[in-house]
Structure 1
């Protein structure tokens, strides 16, 4: 049945004319952005779009998604025009003074993605999630691949499971975006998300996705991995090798555990071990001094109970420290996350 629906959506999209597809996209993107595009149309183009809008029937979400995906694919192929800073200077030369032209070019060059993504990474996750949850999964995947892992994890954690898993699958298979498409997306983000707010290959994609997954709760991580594994088993296996959760300390070499727990405050170790399996407790205690071990064991047997949230926070803190120490070359992880 799902296959029939998908085929029907594809057939309807293929029957749409170019003008109808353009009209649908303009209506979907909202008036502020559509106005900026429509003002570049000539009178004949405006009449054709207006006529199309007046006769357009209801467009189901799957059809809209296919139209957006088709546009993204065309943008990935590229267009036959490449602008340069020199052309930009030539464009405004003679229109404004040389001093004003220099200031304009400096502003334009400074507003590129080099400054957008760090700014976006400092934006509250709730704001970014609210904006991106209304966008196509392909767009969301690209944006999350460009921002800091902490923000990406915060965003996907707030998404419904189906959307979260779809975005994760697309992140793993993400292709480079053309400069023109990236510039358009960055402009939209800067205008609609940042206003008023104070790819290097498959290996990098896997590392980026692992960085996001490492910040999620274990249940969310497992759900995302299962979803990825269903469509890309090889990619899922490679990503698993880059993951690390607290229970994986049993896979660390004794020397690595000793270095790790030398950096962990005793109170954090105690909290993290409150809800741990016996083999995990033993592995952790094997990395501390005899005196610290006796004190921790005493707290675990007679100390006050802890909330699940506090335990998970302590475990995540230690897991993050492991990843940080591995990045700095202080220890080797060596193992992988198992379900």
Structure 2
């Protein structure tokens, strides 16, 4: 949605709260708080901030109640996180939020908090639009791009990698997987690039990131086509490296390696249509294991649904498998099941 001209009255808000600007979120929050409380809040902002928020308040009309609720929930979570950071530091806040909100939601909140705290230029990048970041990294040296991706949330890094050209994908992932200790000087140089490009003045932070574990984590959340292309190209450069990364990844057919009771918990949460579509492209071993871990009635219904699907697009199968894997990862984050692609204790029934 393109922005309205300055001062345009009655601008409709986007449906998705993620599409709101910071000023729009602030305006939504102030309207929800009421005139008296909003006036007290505005006293703590500088003139430029007051002007930006006031413009959005004037433009706003008919904010959906669901949108307002999402903004209020985000404010509550971020305020709670900042309180936890004050009490016990960043890692303590992340640990408490993981318990309260789940890993994915907690990471989203912590990205905003760390950016607001100005922990490092790398954390600022967490809040930049994916398309903008993709264009930014496309212009940078692959080594610089790899180091920046290593500091991003794996899901955001996966979105960016998927948006790059195939040759650049594999080059960056190779460099990310083979990153060793990074000198403070290089970190400072790259943060300077980020500050110059994005116009932010943020303190430096020294860290060692990257390696095959992070490469595997990023590839786990990319599209299957990007994953295959990157692994094929990495294999051309280093069979050992590609194999090491692949061994750390968890793919759909690895569900054969989890315990029967964990698979049963997972299947209870999965949509049957997704399951039928996902099994359409799965190994016979996985299909057999699934059938053994559902009731006879469900197994019969699944068989019939798979048969009725006929020819299906590979992309549809991959999307269904990804949705199932996302549920599996969410259950693992809650410690309700254990996923392992290389566990000696895993049992194949």
Q: Same fold (TM over 0.5)?
A: yes
User: Hey, what does 1:238 align to over in structure 2?
Assistant: 244
Take 1:259 and 1:270, find their aligned partners in 2: how far apart are those partners? 17
Aligned counterparts of 2:269 and 2:209: Cα–Cα separation in 1: 30
The answer to whether the 8 A contact 1:165-1:224 is kept is yes
Give the equivalent residue in structure 2 for 1:157: 162
Which residue is 1:125 aligned to?
Answer: 130
Matched residue, 2:289: 283
Counterparts of residues 1-339 of structure 1 (less than 5 Å): 114=119, 116-193=121-198, 205-302=211-308, 307-329=313-335, 330-335=337-342
Whether the aligned pair in 1 keeps the contact of 2:249 and 2:341 (CA below 8 Å) is no
Measure the CA separation in 1 of the matches of 2:272 and 2:208.
39
Distance 2:207 2:334 in 1: 22
CA change 1:262–1:203 in 2 (3 A) is farther
Alignment RMSD, CA only? 3.4
Q: CA 1:309–1:123 in 2, change beyond 3 Å: closer, same or farther? A: farther
Q: Is the 8 A contact 1:210 1:242 kept in 2?
A: yes
Alpha-carbon distance in structure 2 between the residues aligned to 1:194 and 1:264: 45
Aligned 8 A contact 1:250 1:283 in 2: yes
Rounded Cα–Cα distance in structure 2 between residues aligned with 1:149 and 1:110: 17
Distance of 2:178 and 2:245 partners within structure 1: 12
Instruction: Determine which structure has more spread, i.e. the larger CA radius of gyration.
Output: 1
Q: Which runs of 5+ in 2 are unaligned?
A: 1-113, 344-349
Q: Distance in 2 between matches of 1:279 and 1:110?
A: 46
Relative to the length of structure 1, the TM-score reads 0.56
Q: Name structure 1 gaps, 5 residues minimum.
A: 1-108
TM-score by length of 2: 0.55
Q: Cα offset for 1:130?
A: 1.0
> Does the 8 Å CA contact 1:137/1:166 hold for their aligned counterparts?
yes
Deviation at 1:148, TM superposition (A): 0.9
Cα pair 1:156 1:164 within 8 Å, conserved: yes
Shift of 1:240: 1.7
Secondary structure of the equivalent of 1:241?
Answer: helix
1:30 is matched with none
Kept in 2, the 8 Å contact 1:249–1:284? The answer is no
Q: 2: CA distance between counterparts of 1:289 and 1:116?
A: 53
Instruction: Return the alpha-carbon distance in structure 2 between the equivalents of residues 222 and 164 of structure 1.
Output: 11
The Cα of 1:191 is off from its aligned counterpart by 4.2
Corresponding residue of 1:76: none
138-147 or 226-235, which deviates more? 226-235
Secondary structure in structure 2 of the residue aligned to 1:114: coil
